[in-house]
Amino acid sequence: MPPLTLFILMLTIQLWTNLPPSPLNHLLLLDLSLELLYLLLSMLIWTAFPAGAQNLVKFNASKTQFLPISLSITPSNYDIVFDNNVIQPLNSINILGIGITSNLSWRQHISEVAKSASKKLGVLFRCRKYFSSEQLLQLYVGLIRPCMEYCSHIWGGSPFTALLDRVESKAFRLINDPNLTTSLDPLSLRRNCGFSLSLFYRYFFGRCSVELADCVPPPLARPRVTRQASSSHNYCVEVVNARINRYNDCFFPSTSKLWNSLPASVFPNSYNIFSFKRNVCHHLRN
């Protein structure tokens, strides 16, 4: 059995209060005490065993991970018991190569990605006399750059992505051929165009699951005609300015601002992800 990873997220609240998934519902976490959150999580764990037995599934409590997500610096004193085993809280976990911390900061994950990419570049620097600039370019594009773009739509809104831009500059120095490096789109453009905006375009037009479609911000209401409204496209969405910057750096809030800033000319007449991506890349390059 793979490890059963437990999160104190809106999933727990939705299971027991039947709330629809929405960014606004995350505010309910502020009104719920830690005692209630731990009670709901304990109830969820307690019901997992009968449900697993009915489906011939046996959970391994020794491999279960518990990540309490909170911005509080005060450690919790509540124990989570799973099959008579106390699950110790962790500061971070890794899920499919994505490091998630208890305070939802992407600094640690991006730092580890930048450190790993820098080590690979360091090896190429020591061996660069055996490769041509074209070969070094292919090694960077094929082996190093994909690692710095993996799931970038999740953490791409973080300000710590500047660490990856430094690694990119180091790679360009390694290749040492402006004719080759000028043809490469920067990482920031690829994150915005190739990942974040392309995914947002699919989600906005419902080419996704119902859960993701419900998370898309609603269309922007325009009670009156203004100069800004007349110059904006018809697909603008509402942007919620949260008090916490880490929420503003998440996918939907950060991408919504970039989405609203696009000109109407980048949107095709009908749904066409390839045409949209091509138009957006051309717009951002200019």
Q: Tens of pLDDT along 189-200?
A: 999 888 899 999
Both 74 and 22 in one domain: the answer is yes
Residues 121 and 38 in one domain: no
Which of residues 101, 120, 136 is at a domain's end?
101
Label each residue of the chain as H, E or C. Answer: CCCCEEECCHHHHHHHHCCCCCHHHHHHHHCCCHHHHHHHHHHHHHHHHHHHHHCCCCCCHHHCEEECCCCCCCCCCCCEEECCEEECECCEEEECCEEEECCCCCHHHHHHHHHHHHHHHHHHHHCHHHCCHHHHHHHHHHHHHHHHHCCHHHHCCCHHHHHHHHHHHHHHHHHCCHHHHCCCCCHHHHHHHHHHHHHHHHHHCCCCCHHHHHHCCCECCCCCCCHHHHHCCCCCECCCCCCCHHHHCCHHHHHHHHHHCCCHHHCCCCCCHHHHHHHHHHHHHC
Judge if 152 and 207 occupy the same domain.
no
Residue ending a domain, among 101, 131, 163, is: 101
At 63 the pLDDT is: 78
Domain that holds residue 239: 190-285
Whether 45 and 13 map to the same domain: the answer is yes
Which regions of the chain are under pLDDT 50? 1-32
Q: Are residues 85 and 130 both part of a single domain?
A: no
In a domain, 185, yes or no: no
Please state the domain count of the chain. Answer: 3
Last residue of a domain, one of 101, 128, 157: 101
Residues 130 and 92 in one domain: no
The pLDDT of residue 58: 73
Q: Residue 92: inside a domain, yes or no?
A: yes
| Shared domain check, 119 and 94 | no
